[in-house]
Structure 1
C-alpha cells in the first residue's frame, strides 16, 4: 500500500510556504466533503454520480502522491460507469488512508 505524501505539494509550492499551506488547507477542507459525497452516492446505488465523485477524488489522490492508487481509481471510475463495484473495497481503503493522512497535517 502506498503512503500519501506532500512531495507534489512541496514541488508545486517551491519556497512559498504560504502557498503550500493554502494547498494543504484546501485539501483538508475538500477531501472529507468529497468522500462524504461519494459515500452518499454509493449508499443510494447511484453509480453514475459515484463515478463523478471518483473522478474528482482522483485529483486528490494524485496530489497526495499516490500514483498506483490513481490508476486503480481510473479503473474503478470506469467500473462504476458500467454499474460494477469491482475495486470498491480497494478504493475505499485508499480513501481511508488519505483521510487519516490529511487529519494529521
Structure 2
C-alpha cells in the first residue's frame, strides 16, 4: 500500500470520527482546537504525497478547507463527513498513475 493511500485511509477515518455529532465537536473544543491543526497538517502531507503519486487530491484539498472552517458548528459537522467520505472513496479507488494520456 502506498503512503498516500495509507494516509487517505487514516485521515478519512479521523474525519469520519470527528463527524460524530456532539462527540467530535466536544473533542475539538476540549482540546483547544488542536485536532483541527493536526488534521490540517495531516491533510497537507497527504496532498503532497498524492501529488507525487499522481492520485486523487480532492479529499485532501477538501480536508484542508474543513480544517480551516470546522469551528463553525453545523458546517464543521457536514464538512468533516464529506471530507471523510471523499478520502475513503479515494483510497478505495486507488491510484490513477497507471492511466496516461497518449
* Structure-2-length-normalised TM-score: 0.49
* Structure-1-length-normalised TM-score: 0.48
